[in-house]
Amino acid sequence: MSSIKRVAIVGGTHGNEFSGIYLLKKWQQQPQSISRPSFCSEMVFANPKAHQENKRYLDHDLNRQFGLADLNNPDLTSYEQCRAKAMNQQLGPKGNAQTDFIIDLHNTTSNMGPSLILLQSDEFNRKMGAYIKCKMPETVVEFEDYSSVDEHHFVSSIAKQGVIIEVGPQPQSVIRQDILDWMEALTQHVLDYVHLSNINALPELPETYEAFQYSETLTLPVNEKGERIGMVHKDVQDADFKPIYNGSAIFTLFNGEIITWDGDYEAYPHFINEAAYYDNNLAMSLARKITVKTSDE
């Protein structure tokens, strides 16, 4: 892979996820902290109007607006759809981007700790996961490589390479120091990795490491009218990346009935009971635990 020359750090993709926004403010005062000798860095405040109104978004979720067809559709003119087009001009254009690498900073209300979400499973990303696990072992590495980067709708898919940093639990519109510190440390390690990869100076990495791979999403129980009739089971709540099995309790209906998982693999829930996903009745994502081979060699 050719070296990375231009890196963008994006915060405030969702206006009520405060850690990334306040880290951008900090780094604007200390730009040297995100610079490295082998590449230039820029910062992008993605959704300032949503932040001003203390909302996740005004019209549409900005982090779902970066599909190629949507970016090229002049009829999509909501605030977030226009922001996506402007960011694509600034950082892209997607498919031939002037930005080589994007770090998109997010908070979650779920108990996911520091999590690094990788959109590709090529050697560059696999080595990044190994490096991060060595430097910050508490980080969870998850691969969401179920489609090509061009097919993803995320901010970080504008560039050929990009990652999502998710850190929680943090309530919406709140700043927690432990969460902000985790996000800052993880971002710094990712920047270090990119620089060391550029100059061929990576330390010795383990041959394999444990990670997760997204598999599916579960929705909250609803009736025929689409009204919620249950909630996440208390044994699953806050147990992100802890295994469930066929027959494990996952939902409790308001009438007291327990709903169990009907699955044929050991699954690892995450984004459990994420507040932002209630508008779509999403209860949790599931992943499989995988062993990642670090290098192609």
Tell me the C-alpha to C-alpha distance, in Å, between residue 16 and each of 46, 164, 171, 282.
Answer: 12, 17, 9, 19
DSSP 8-state assignment for residue 77: -
Contacting residues for 285 by C-beta, under 8 A, at least 6 apart? 214, 216, 217, 218, 269, 270, 271
Is the distance from CB of 191 to CB of 34 less than 8 angstroms? yes
Pairwise CA distance, residues 24 & 240, whole Å: 27
Catalytic residue positions, numbered? 166
What element of type H or E holds 131? helix 123-135
* Residue 17 labelled as part of a binding site: yes
Contacting residues for 9 by C-beta, under 8 A, at least 6 apart? 24, 27, 34, 41, 42, 43, 44, 102, 103, 105, 187
What element of type H or E holds 215? strand 208-219
Is the distance from CB of 235 to CB of 249 less than 8 angstroms? yes
* Residue 270 labelled as part of a binding site: no
* Of the candidates 271, 284, 290, the residue with the CA atom closest to the CA atom of residue 121: 290
* Residue 195 labelled as part of a binding site: no
Binding annotation: 14, 17, 106
Binding annotation for Zn(2+): 14, 17, 106
